[in-house]
């Protein structure tokens, strides 16, 4: 992907010129647990100032980037990064642990990330993801492939939130999602097997011996463990 990054950065430099302060890759690709066709290339673009014209001018290069299957980058001003760290503690903790500077200064290096609202945001995000998971299960339960895709895709999101669970419990999270989940289940004393099975599904396109009955059973076990994690986060606030 290096040549894709270089071409994209050249486009950003030509678009934003001196206003471009930094381009940073964060998330799975920066942590080293990128899974093809599952993970995203998450990009943070930091500008000195952001107005409608700056965003409008970025449309051609962002369009080309998204045509390759990548998500739209996150845009921040340099000053916003300093002021927003306490509002988005989960996201900025993730960026601080796993990032690669592709252009410019490391604008995340000296962030003061407050954990004041970390537990509340973690519980909110976990409960929101669980509600979404239940809704998505209804159509996905019609096929093994649907269930497989739902579990594989949702586990990535939950694993990112488990990083906050570890911080809340005074632990330093590792970089990769499988390591984060492993540390979380061990610390909370919950069942690791559903997560291990789903990581295997996520990394291997074949469903193997997973039939409709076993796929639905695995989903039930998976959801049960997610609920236990949420209970533990809720208890930490009482």
Where do the domains of the chain lie?
A: 2-104, 118-236
The CATH H-level superfamily of 2-104 is Beta Polymerase, domain 2 (3.30.460.10)
pLDDT of res. 113: 72
Q: Looking at the DSSP assignment, which residues form a beta bridge with residue 100?
A: 25
Determine the Cα–Cα distance for residues 87 and 165; give it in Å rounded to an integer: 17
pTM of the entire structure?
Answer: 0.67
Dihedral angle sign, alpha carbons of residues 162, 167, 169, 174: positive
pLDDT of res. 53: 95
Q: What residues in the chain have per-residue pLDDT under 70?
A: 1-3, 31-39, 114, 205-208
CATH 1.20.120 applies to domain 118-236: yes
Residue 37: how many CA atoms within 13 Å on its side-chain side? 7
Among residues 14, 184, 177, the alpha carbon closest in space to that of 103 is found at 14
- Cα–Cα separations (whole angstroms), residue 165 to 17, 21, 84, 156, 213: 40, 32, 20, 15, 31
Over residues 17-54, the pLDDT tens digits come to 999 999 999 877 776 665 554 557 889 999 999 999 99
pLDDT of res. 90: 78
pLDDT of res. 48: 97
pLDDT of res. 206: 54
Q: Do 2-104 and 118-236 agree at the fold level?
A: no
Q: Looking at the DSSP assignment, which residues form a beta bridge with residue 24?
A: 44, 101
pLDDT of res. 52: 94
Over residues 197-218, the pLDDT tens digits come to 999 988 875 545 788 999 999 9
Determine the Cα–Cα distance for residues 167 and 49; give it in Å rounded to an integer: 32
Determine the Cα–Cα distance for residues 115 and 45; give it in Å rounded to an integer: 24
């Amino acid at each position: 992907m290096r040549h894709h990054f270089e071409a994209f950065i050249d486009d950003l430099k030509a678009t934003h010129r001196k206003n471009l302060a930094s381009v940073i890759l964060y998330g799975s690709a920066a942590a080293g647990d990128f899974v093809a066709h599952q993970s995203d290339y998450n990009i943070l673009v930091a500008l000195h100032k952001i107005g409608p014209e700056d965003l409008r001018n970025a449309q051609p290069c962002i369009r080309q980037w998204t045509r390759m299957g990548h998500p739209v980058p996150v845009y921040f001003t340099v000053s916003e990064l300093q002021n927003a760290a306490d509002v988005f503690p989960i996201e900025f903790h993730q960026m601080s642990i796993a990032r690669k500077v592709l252009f410019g200064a490391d604008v995340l290096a000296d962030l003061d990330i407050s954990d004041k609202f970390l537990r509340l945001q973690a519980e909110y995000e976990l409960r929101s993801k669980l509600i979404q998971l239940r809704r998505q299960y209804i159509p996905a339960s019609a096929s093994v492939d649907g269930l497989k895709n739902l579990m594989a895709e949702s586990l990535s999101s939950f694993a990112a939130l488990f990083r906050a669970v570890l911080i809340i419990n005074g632990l330093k999270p590792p970089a990769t999602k499988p390591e984060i989940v492993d540390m979380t289940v061990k610390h909370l004393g919950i069942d690791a097997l559903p997560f291990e099975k789903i990581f295997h599904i996520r990394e291997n396109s074949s469903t193997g011996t997973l039939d409709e009955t076993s796929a639905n059973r695995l989903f039930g076990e998976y959801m049960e463990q997610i609920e236990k994690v949420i209970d533990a986060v809720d208890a930490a606030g009482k």
